[in-house]
Amino acid sequence: MSLQSGPHLILASQSRYRAALLQAAGLTFTALPAHIDEAAIKRQAQAEAWGADATALRLATLKAAKIAPQAPDALVIGCDQLLVCGANWFDKPRDVAEARQHLQHLRGQTHTLVTAVICQYHGQIVWQHVAKPQLTMRNFSDAWLETYLAEEADHLTNTVGAYRLEGPGLQLFADVQGEHSAIIGLPLLPLFAYLRDAGVLGD
């Protein structure tokens, strides 16, 4: 789909990590937080067995839809990420104690970061994508975990996995598969491919 020349880009997110990705890549955009009741939507999703892909896309769509009326001629980017390990979905930990519980559960396991991104333009979803990076945590010791939690205490509640791959969180892992930006929360390569096809970015 070709868009009108040079629509303004809006990132419907309060995540500083996602904004930093777009800034580092040289895009001009506005970041606006989109407040929705994510917990209620996730409860409905699990009760009705939507699946992680559909849930992440739904959350991304609702975030974009919340912002779109404020700028009807803008291209709005909505995104969301779920951490899935087996049958369990994980939210951002509320405190250090919950981060410890999450990491103890994830230790020695492979989890998937179901990362959805959609673009909305003039009230329509014009593009969507789901990336699924897979990360395997090593069997770190309890002593190492306590050291990690102390070092990262100020950052643990900011990410769904209680880790930052650009920081000490990388030491949690034995293997990481997937685009780095998708792991952080916004799959840039497929997004940029769409923006080039749509004429928003140069080819």
The CATH-assigned architecture of domain 9-197 is: Alpha-Beta Complex (3.90)
Q: Residue 5: pLDDT above 60?
A: no
Q: Residue 4: pLDDT above 70?
A: no
- Give φ, ψ of 84 to 5 degrees: -120, 125
61 or 123: which leads in pLDDT: 61
Count CB neighbours of 96 within 10 A: 15
Q: Report d(CA 132, CA 122) in Å as an integer.
A: 28
Domain map (residue ranges) of the chain: 9-197
For position 1, what pLDDT does the model report? 47
Q: 6-15, 95-104, 114-123, 139-148: which has the minimum mean pLDDT?
A: 6-15
The model's pLDDT over 179-194, given as tens digits with 9 standing for 90+, comes to 999 999 999 999 999 9
User: Rg of the chain over CA atoms, in angstroms?
Assistant: 17
Active site residues: 80
